[in-house]
Amino acid sequence: MVKLVIDTDPGVDDAMAILFAARHPAIELLGMTSVFGNVTVAQATRNALYLAEKAGFSGLPVAEGAGAPLVLPPFPPSRQVHGDEGFGDLPAFVPQGRAVTETAAEFLVRLAREHAGELVLCPVGPITNIAEAIRLDPDFARNVKKIVIMGGALDVAGNITPHAEANTYHDPHALDLVLQSGADITMVGLDVTLQVLLSEPDFAELAIRAPRHGRFLQDISHFYLDFYHSVGLTGCGLHDPMAVIACIAPELFEAERTGLAVTLDGEAVGRTIRDPARPPVSVLTGCDAEAIRSLFFDILDEGAEAMPLAARG
C-alpha cells in the first residue's frame, strides 16, 4: 500500500486526481493539504473536503495551507481555467466537515515523522506547503519516502507563459527550495502530462462507466475543455491524475535523472532547467499513454456497484 497525502488546489484535474486516488486499492489516503492556485486557499480547502466526502472519506483530515507564494506577491486564482469556484461553471459545494487545526506544513511534518520512510507526497498545486514543511523540520526531506510533483516543463513550452508551467510559475522559489532538499523527487511535468489528453467523448465514456464520480467529472470539465480548446489543444492534459499514477505505477513512465533548478526572475520566471550541480531527481519524459488512460478509466469505473440493484441479480 502507498501511504499518500495529496497537496492540492482543486481545480478540475485535481478533482480527477483525488477521486482516482480515493478509489485505487493500492493507495491509503492519509489526508490532504490545501494551497492557493487554481482557486483561493479557502476554496481549495472547501473543495478538498467536499471531494473527500463525495469519495466516501468523510473525516479524512484536510489541513489548510498557504494562501500566497513564499516570496512573490499573491496571485489571483486561475478562474479562466477552472471557473469561479474551481469546478468549471458549477456552483460552490459546501462540505459537512472542516479543516483540522494544524496548518498544512505542521500536518505534513507530523505525518512524515509518524510514517517515517513510508509517506509519499503528491503535490499537485503550487508547492509552497512542502517548502514550508522543509523549513519547519530539518528531517522532513529524509522522513518522506518520495515527493511526486505535478509541475514543471523541461523540454516543452510552458502553459501559463511560454517558459513556465502553472504550478511552478505560482511559486518558483518554493519548487527551487524543494529541489535542493535531497528528498527522493519525481517531477511529473508537462513533458508527460500533455501526452495523455481527455476530450468530450472521453468524459462522456467516463460518465457512463462511472455514473457518480465520472458524471461529476464530466459536469465540471466542460468549462475546462473550453479553455484547452481556446489554446489550440483537442483535450485537457491529465496533469494531476498522472502524478498520482506515477506514485503507484512508476513502471508506466520513462525518466531522466538530472539536477534541476527554477528560474526565479525575469521573463523566464518559473522555468525548470537542468542543473548538474543540484541533487539528481527523476524527471518523467515519456509514458505508456494507452496504459495510463486505461488505468484511469478502470479505477474510476463503477461497474457493478453502479448498476441498479435489480440488474445485479
Q: In the complex, which residue's CB is closest to ligand BDR?
A: 166
Residue 188 exposure: Cα atoms within 13 Å on the Cβ side? 30
Using rule CB under 5 A, residue 11 touches Ca ion: yes
Task: Read off the C-alpha cell for 84.
Answer: 469561479
Q: Considering CB distances under 5 to 8 angstroms, the limit depending on partner class, which of ligand BDR, Ca ion, none binds residue 165?
A: ligand BDR
Q: Does 130 bind Ca ion (CB under 5 A)?
A: no
Total Cβ atoms within 10 A of residue 199: 15
Q: Which residues bind ligand BDR (CB under 6 A)?
A: 11, 13-14, 38, 78, 81, 124-125, 150, 159, 165-167, 239-240
- 43 makes contact, choosing from ligand BDR, Ca ion, none, with CB < 5 to 8 Å by partner type, with none
Is 213 a known active-site residue?
Answer: no
24, 163, 170, 239: the active-site residue: 239
How many residues touch Ca ion under the rule CB under 5 A: the total is 6
Q: Tell me the C-alpha distance between 19 and 14, whole Å.
A: 9
Shortest reach from residue 244's CB to Ca ion, in Å: 11
Distance of alpha carbon 40 from the chain centroid: 16
Q: Does 14 bind Ca ion (CB under 5 A)?
A: yes
Q: In angstroms, what is the C-alpha Rg of the chain?
A: 18
Q: Which residues does residue 64 pair with via DSSP β-bridges, in sequence order?
A: 34
Segment contacting Ca ion by CB under 5 A, of 4-12, 21-29, 140-148, 296-304: 4-12
69 makes contact with Ca ion (CB under 5 A): no
Residues that bind Ca ion (CB under 5 A): 9, 11, 14, 124-125, 240
Q: Which residues are catalytic?
A: 239
